[in-house]
């Protein structure tokens, strides 16, 4: 009997009126766990019942504790007929199962009904007593911590990063069971919610077991997804990175380490072996065409080429230690061996992390991706996971071989996704090929290796840009130069990655969100024919998305993309591609050339004029963008850099598609373009459209920046105001004359308008940056396009931004990266330490410290902006306060980022993973589709916040809305929506509060965490 679950039902409030006659409710509560149910007494005639129940005790296996949710049902007692359900609360008790997280769940939970939404609240207290279990063959994995955060969580230290873990479970979808024909929509929705909750628990437990097997104690970058396959089943799958984490506990280590908003430790870039690599060249393997993946500059495809790639990369990975002097020769050799074995052992050397402990990331090769089209109705054994396992294994194998081809032994920033339409399913995986420092990847390495600082011979934050592949045996044609930063190693001319910008990277100017958008019509077809049609379209889509990205990057005057995410969505009659990434100018990479336009018929005068007009527009845009994003790299003369690697021809030419005849290439004159220029050939209306669409992207209004990465390159003085939001749009395409161009235009307009709306709505927060902008496209019906965006707006201090970026730019080329990091990571710390009077007006500090004494959470009042704002406390100061204005509801912040600006995360309380279904049969009465979904999303936020508050937390970090499936049937006045969200519940403390506290009690370490908590 390894666990005892104890539940107490305290009270309810704001219950709905269930008895029309008395305008009251006779409520009671059923508490169910596994197969055991308890009931409270009926509290007669009240909308605010006080049950104050006894402790209901469930004695259960820890396996069940992990799998089962606690199910609380509130009902209205009816003497003569069946009791009516008011609603339910599902509580995931997983956070109570590991020692460092929450110890009790206690608070007000919204009572949720899938038909009526939230109907009042219920106050519940949950505790778990765990007994030690000595059974070696246990099926549970209690104690393994899960994090959605895709970096090593603050206040933890990575001892070992073990690697990739994945699991997948399948079940019949209750919505498609025969019984669904006779049960109510409510019963069906609840069956589904409960099943997914169970499956998530099971999945998490199984992944936990794998982690224990690997001798890890945590999963970082845990990403769980649902595939609603329809008839063939319901799949819940998850990937993550197994780690052994150590809690940072000593105050000395803890405080400075967690100061940084983005990273836990000061980073020391990895020492580069200054010697050029010995090359072991071999003939490159022939290209194969079944799979598609992207490299920094060209589309290519290739199978793993046996051992030669391994050979060529061995010296690099092996010598990757900066403390080479200390370790000496033999150890080095040993390390080299270990690396290979450590990585080779693993079936898939993938990490789901996007940001890394210092020194882990050595080189980045480029983006690798693979897609495959599958037919769901061909699964032999739909109830078993084998087929899907095999599918994913196949794709991962492909990714692995792509990485190998890039001279990389690992893939980082790895993610998987699906798009399903009827019986067709596209599986996608992508990541960034990389070379990693082996020291983190195995056990038994020198203790404290993470802390080891490498003082001597630091390359200035450019190491990761250096090519990991063999220059003479490049997997794709690329244009290499010597690194503009250290001048020792070769770098590509552009770099695409799926990871966050490494904190030590030297960046010129600011970054910006870059999107490529694409639609392709497809004939409606069945099964095999459909799959074939899609497969045939995919490479063209990928190619065009890539071309667009490249052009837009050039147009911005930038040379690298981070956080690249390409989503291909399949619908009945079209495919959509949406790629988002954050463009930056990396100082280590060469200055990008411009874009040249070339006409096809050079003798036509007016045409020529048109071309030159376009050319001028493009040049102007580039110049404007350079100014806007403050891209003014220092001039470097050619001699210093060394001549570029001689190449027979300029390879930077871009063709619209591969199918175009290649003989045109030679005709085209490149001489009029300057070096490195991209050439856009305008030979048909399509191409013209493309150029136009390039120019229609409007930059964000002044005061706004946007990116899809964690932090915005070039902005580093965040203030504490944050606003997370979700915006959803569904547009109906007119079915008349749908062409690819019209579609593209519509889609482009949709995305651009959405962004414009966001800028407008958040205008009172300026200067601010939209971070982690995450677009998701789905095609719910024939002519419907749904775009969902989740992001967070963070304010920053404009004046300081200017100062620091200047300082940063000046320093960046001379100083070692440690300093840069400080500039990047410790802006708030830095200013409050050295310039307290300047950075924070005394009054504000007073306000904040005062608020920590009173009952209200600090976060509620910590507003630094004077003017009215969406969060705006500013206005209120002059008003007379109504007597009862102090709310009892604590503020819970939500953010898709892994940190909270101006605050320190002191405790991780556990993972939040929630799935909700909402359905209505009175769509018009609820304000139409917009009213329905608006209310539902607000309710989802409320339920997430309530769960976090009940765990004792005051924020959710790494929040993500993984799914938002919306279906409507206006003629029947019906709609249904499924939403899946996840994130990490945390406790954070404002840095200003922390200073006050640490001044008072110098010895505190983790104690401050309690003071900032929410009172609920």
Partner 1 sequence: MTSELDIFVGNTTLIDEDVYRLWLDGYSVNDAVALRVRSGILEQTGATAGVLQSDTMDHYRTFHMLERLLHAPPKLLHQLIFQIPPSRQALLIERYYTFDEAFVREVLGKKLSKGTKKDLDDISTKTGITLKSCRRQFDNFKRVFKVVEEMRGSLVDNIQQHFLLSDRLARDYAAIVFFANNRFETGKKKLQYLSFGDFAFCAELMIQNWTLGAVDSQMDDMDVDLDKEFLQDLKELKVLVADKDLLDLHKSLVCTVLRGKLSVFSEMETNFKNLSRGLVNVAAKLTHNKDVRDLFVDLVEKFVEPCRSDHWPLSDVRLFLTQYSVSVHSLDGFRHQVLWDRYMGTLRGCLLRLYHD
- Window 649 to 678, contacts with partner 1 (CB under 8 A): none
**Nearest distance from residue 961's CB to partner 1, in Å?**
10
Q: Which lies closer to partner 1 via its Cβ, residue 47 or residue 527?
A: 47
**Residue closer to partner 1 (CB basis): 881 or 999:** 881
Nearer to partner 1, 41 or 925 (CB): 925
Query: Segment 238-267, which members bind partner 1 (CB under 8 A)?
Result: none
Q: What is the DSSP string of 169-211?
A: EEE--GGGSGGGGTS-HHHHHHHHHHHHHHHHHHHHHHHHHHH
964 sits near partner 1 (criterion: CB under 8 A): no
Site string for partner 1, 7-46 (x = CB under 8 A): ------xx--------------------------------
C-alpha pair distances (Å), 367 with each of 296, 363, 518, 721 = 7, 12, 19, 34
Q: How many CB atoms lie within 10 A of CB 987?
A: 25
- Kindly state whether residue 931 participates in binding partner 1, applying the rule CB under 8 A: yes
Single residue of 701, 806, 838, 925 touching partner 1 by CB under 8 A: 701
Binding to partner 1 in span 441-470, by CB under 8 A: none
Residue of 727, 774, 973, 974 interacting with partner 1 (CB under 8 A): 727
- Binding status of residue 733 toward partner 1 by CB under 8 A: yes
Indicate left, alpha or beta for 928 from its phi (over 0: left) and psi (-120 to 50: alpha): left
Strands across the sheet containing 574-586: 495-496, 560-570, 574-586, 507-521
CA nearest neighbour of 434 among 361, 337, 494: 361
- Closest by CA to 755, choosing from 690, 695, 689, 697, is 697
Q: How far from each other are the two terminal CA atoms of the chain, in whole angstroms?
A: 32
What value, to the nearest 5°, has the Cα angle with vertex 779 and ends 775 and 780?
Answer: 115
Taking the least distance from each CB to partner 1, the nearer of 65 and 937 is 937
**Contacts of partner 1 in 754-813 (CB under 8 A):** 756-761, 763, 784, 786
**CA dist., res. 452 & res. 322, Å (int):** 9
Residue 445 or 764 with smaller CB distance to partner 1: 764
∠ Cα 738 428 933 (to 5°): 60
**Binding flag, residue 226, partner 1 (CB under 8 A):** no
Sign of CA dihedral 790, 791, 792, 798: negative
Interface pick for partner 1 out of 140, 354, 726, 804 (rule CB under 8 A): 726
Site residues for partner 1, 884-913, by CB under 8 A, read 884-889, 891-894
Nearer to partner 1, 723 or 852 (CB): 723
The span of 170-178, 528-536, 599-607, 928-936 binding partner 1 (CB under 8 A) equals 928-936
Q: How far apart are CA 686 and CA 204, in angstroms?
A: 48
Strand, coil or helix: what is 161? strand
Minimum Å distance from CB 384 to partner 1?
A: 38
CB closer to partner 1, 775 vs 966? 966
Indicate the residue among 607 and 725 with the shorter CB distance to partner 1.
725
Q: Least distance from C-beta 856 to partner 1, angstroms?
A: 8
Told to check if 86 binds partner 1 by CB under 8 A, we report no
The binder of partner 1 chosen from 730, 769, 865, 981 (CB under 8 A): 730
CB of 56 to partner 1, least distance (A): 24
Tokens of 391: 């599918």
Report how many residues bind partner 1 under the rule CB under 8 A: 74
Site for partner 1 in 94-133 (CB under 8 A): 108, 110, 118, 121
Distance between CA atoms of 668 and 380, rounded to whole angstroms? 53
Binding segment for partner 1 among 357-365, 499-507, 574-582, 942-950 (CB under 8 A)? 942-950
Q: Which stretch binds partner 1 (CB under 8 A): 266-274, 368-376, 836-844, 924-932?
A: 924-932
Q: Least distance in Å: CB of 949 to partner 1?
A: 9
Our finding on whether 332 is near partner 1 (CB under 8 A) is no
Give the C-alpha separation, 612 to 597, whole Å: 8
Candidates 282-290, 365-373, 606-614, 743-751; binding stretch for partner 1 (CB under 8 A): 743-751
Q: How far is CA 776 from CA 74, 150, 762, in A?
A: 35, 19, 20
The one among 405, 574, 728, 768 contacting partner 1 by CB under 8 A: 728
Site membership for partner 1, residue 942 (CB under 8 A): yes
User: What mask of x and - would describe binding to partner 1 in positions 351 to 370, judged by CB under 8 A?
Assistant: --------------------
- Of residues 941, 951, 988, 1009, which one binds partner 1 by CB under 8 A? 941
**What are the tokens at 46?**
């009240």
Task: By CB under 8 A, tell whether 181 contacts partner 1.
Answer: no
Residue with tokens 């902008």: 773
Find where tokens 């939404």 sit. 117
Q: What angle do CA 747, 749, 754 make, to 5 degrees?
A: 100
- Position 974 contacts partner 1 (CB under 8 A): no
Q: Are 306 and 417 in contact (CB under 8 A)?
A: no
Binder of partner 1 out of 939, 973, 974, 1011 (CB under 8 A): 939
What does the alpha-carbon distance between residue 785 and residue 747 come to, in Å, rounded to a whole number? 8
C-alpha distances in Å from residue 860, one per residue of 117, 357, 535, 828, 847:
27, 32, 52, 19, 11
Q: What six digits make up the tokens of 470?
A: 């063999």
The beta strands (E) that lie in 42-176 are given as 56-60, 70-76, 84-91, 105-113, 117-130, 145-146, 156-171
Q: In angstroms, what is the minimal distance from the CB of 700 to partner 1?
A: 10
Distance separating alpha carbons of residues 715 and 732, to the nearest angstrom: 38
Rank residues 394 and 783 by Cβ distance to partner 1 and give the closer one.
Answer: 783
Q: What are phi and psi of 563, to 5 degrees?
A: 65, 30
Q: Which of 33, 476, 966, 988 binds partner 1 (CB under 8 A)?
A: 966
Q: Which range of residues in 16-24, 523-531, 795-803, 937-945 is near partner 1 by CB under 8 A? A: 937-945
Q: Closer to partner 1 at the Cβ: 6 or 761?
A: 761
Which C-beta is closer to partner 1: that of 163 or that of 890?
A: 890
942: Cα within 13 Å, side-chain hemisphere: 18
The yes or no reply on residue 749 touching partner 1 (CB under 8 A) is: yes
Residue of 432, 723, 820, 832 that binds partner 1 (CB under 8 A): 723
| Contact in structure between 469 and 402 (CB atoms under 8 Å) | no
- Pick from 613, 616, 732, 846: which binds partner 1 (CB under 8 A)? 732
Report the candidate in 684, 688, 790, 700 with the shortest Cα–Cα distance to residue 745: 688
Binding span for partner 1 by CB under 8 A among 57-65, 247-255, 599-607, 929-937: 929-937
Q: Report CA torsion sign: 436, 438, 439, 442.
A: positive
Minimum CB separation from partner 1 for residue 866, in Å? 13
850-889: which residues touch partner 1 (CB under 8 A)?
A: 856, 860, 863, 868, 870-873, 875-877, 879-889
């Amino acid at each position: 009997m390894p666990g005892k679950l104890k539940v107490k039902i305290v009270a309810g409030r704001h219950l709905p009126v269930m008895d029309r006659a008395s305008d009251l409710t006779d409520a009671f509560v059923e508490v169910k766990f596994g197969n055991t149910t308890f009931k409270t007494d009926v509290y007669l005639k009240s909308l605010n019942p006080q049950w104050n129940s006894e402790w209901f005790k469930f004695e259960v296996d820890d396996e069940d504790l992990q799998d089962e949710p606690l199910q609380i049902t509130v009902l209205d007692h009816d003497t003569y007929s069946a009791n009516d359900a008011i609603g339910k609360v599902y509580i995931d008790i997983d956070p109570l199962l590991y020692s460092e997280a929450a110890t009790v769940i206690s608070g007000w939970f919204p009572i949720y009904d899938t038909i009526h939404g939230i109907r009042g609240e219920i106050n519940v207290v949950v505790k778990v007593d765990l007994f030690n279990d000595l059974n070696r063959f246990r099926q549970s994995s209690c104690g393994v911590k899960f994090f959605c955060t895709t970096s090593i969580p603050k206040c933890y230290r990575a001892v070992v990063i073990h690697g990739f873990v994945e699991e997948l479970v399948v079940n019949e979808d209750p919505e498609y069971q025969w019984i669904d024909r006779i049960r109510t929509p409510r019963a069906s929705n609840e069956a589904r919610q409960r099943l997914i909750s169970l499956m998530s628990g099971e999945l998490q437990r199984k992944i936990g077991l794998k982690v224990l097997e690997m001798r890890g104690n945590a999963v970082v970058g845990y990403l769980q997804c649902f595939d609603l396959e329809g008839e063939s089943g319901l799949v819940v799958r998850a990937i993550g990175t197994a780690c052994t984490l150590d809690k940072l506990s000593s105050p000395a280590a803890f405080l400075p380490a967690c100061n940084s908003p983005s990273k836990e430790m000061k980073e020391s870039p990895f020492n580069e072996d200054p010697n050029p690599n010995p090359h072991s060249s071999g003939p490159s393997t022939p290209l194969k065409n079944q799979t598609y993946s992207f490299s920094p500059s060209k589309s290519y495809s290739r199978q793993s080429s046996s051992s030669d790639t391994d050979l060529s990369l061995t010296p690099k990975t092996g010598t990757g230690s900066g403390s080479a002097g200390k370790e000496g020769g033999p150890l080095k050799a040993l390390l080299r061996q270990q690396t290979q074995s450590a990585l080779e052992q693993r079936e898939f050397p993938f990490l789901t992390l996007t940001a890394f402990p210092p020194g882990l990331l050595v080189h980045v090769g480029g983006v690798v991706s693979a897609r495959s089209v599958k037919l769901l109705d061909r699964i032999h054994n739909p109830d078993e996971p084998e087929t899907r396992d095999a599918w994913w294994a196949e794709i991962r194998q492909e990714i692995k071989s792509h990485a190998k081809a890039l001279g990389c032994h690992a893939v980082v920033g790895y993610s998987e996704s699906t798009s399903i339409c009827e019986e067709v399913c596209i599986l996608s995986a992508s990541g960034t090929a990389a070379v990693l420092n082996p020291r983190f990847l195995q056990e038994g390495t020198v203790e404290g290796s993470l802390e080891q600082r490498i003082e001597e011979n630091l390359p200035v934050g450019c190491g990761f840009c250096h090519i990991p592949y063999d220059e003479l045996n490049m997997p794709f044609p690329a244009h290499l130069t010597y690194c503009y930063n250290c001048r020792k190693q070769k770098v590509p001319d552009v770099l695409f990655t799926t990871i966050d910008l490494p904190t030590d990277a030297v960046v010129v100017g600011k970054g910006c969100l870059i999107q490529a958008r694409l639609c392709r019509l497809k004939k409606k077809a069945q099964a095999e024919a459909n799959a074939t049609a899609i497969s045939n379209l995919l490479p063209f889509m990928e190619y065009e998305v890539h071309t667009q990205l490249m052009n837009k990057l050039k147009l911005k005057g930038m040379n690298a993309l981070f956080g690249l995410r390409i989503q291909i969505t399949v619908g009945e009659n079209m495919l959509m591609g949406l790629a988002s990434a954050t463009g930056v100018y990396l100082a280590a990479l060469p200055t990008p050339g411009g874009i040249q336009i070339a006409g096809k018929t050079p003798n036509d005068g007016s045409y020529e004029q048109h071309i030159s007009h376009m050319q001028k527009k493009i040049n102007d845009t580039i110049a404007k963008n350079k100014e806007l994003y403050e891209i003014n790299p220092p001039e470097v003369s050619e001699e210093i850099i060394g001549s570029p690697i001689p190449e027979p021809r300029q390879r930077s030419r871009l063709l619209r598609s591969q199918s175009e005849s290649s003989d045109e290439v030679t005709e085209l004159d490149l001489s009029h373009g300057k070096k490195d220029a991209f050439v856009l050939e305008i030979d048909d209306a399509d191409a013209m459209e493309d150029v136009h669409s390039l120019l229609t992207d409007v930059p964000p209004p002044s005061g706004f920046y946007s990116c899809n990465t964690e932090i915005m390159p070039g902005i580093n003085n965040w203030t504490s105001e944050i606003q997370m939001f979700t915006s959803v749009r569904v547009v109906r395409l007119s079915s008349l004359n749908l062409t690819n161009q019209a579609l593209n235009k519509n889609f482009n307009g949709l995305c651009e308008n959405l962004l414009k709306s966001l800028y407008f709505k958040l205008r009172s927060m300026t200067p601010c940056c939209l971070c982690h902008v995450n677009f998701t496209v789905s095609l719910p019906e024939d002519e419907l396009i749904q775009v969902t965006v989740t992001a967070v707006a963070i304010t920053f201090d404009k004046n300081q931004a200017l100062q620091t970026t200047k300082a940063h730019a000046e320093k960046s080329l001379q100083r070692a990266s440690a300093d840069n990091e400080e500039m990047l990571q410790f802006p708030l710390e830095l200013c409050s330490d050295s310039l307290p009077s300047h950075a924070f007006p005394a009054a504000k500090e007073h306000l904040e410290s005062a608020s920590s004494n009173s009952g209200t959470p600090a976060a509620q009042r910590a507003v630094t902006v004077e003017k009215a704002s969406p969060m705006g406390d500013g206005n209120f100061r002059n008003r007379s306060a109504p007597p009862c204005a102090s709310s009892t509801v604590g503020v819970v912040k939500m953010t898709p980022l892994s940190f909270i600006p101006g605050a320190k995360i002191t405790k991780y309380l556990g993972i939040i993973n929630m799935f909700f279904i909402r359905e209505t049969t009175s769509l018009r009465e609820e304000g139409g589709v917009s009213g329905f979904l608006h209310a539902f999303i607000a309710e989802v936020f409320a339920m997430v916040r309530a769960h976090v508050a009940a765990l004792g937390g005051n924020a959710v970090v790494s929040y993500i809305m993984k799914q938002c499936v919306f279906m409507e049937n206006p003629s029947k006045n019906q709609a249904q929506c499924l939403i899946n969200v996840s994130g990490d519940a945390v406790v954070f403390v404002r840095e200003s509060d922390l200073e006050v506290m640490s001044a008072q009690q110098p010895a505190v370490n983790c104690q401050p965490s309690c003071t900032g908590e929410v009172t609920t």
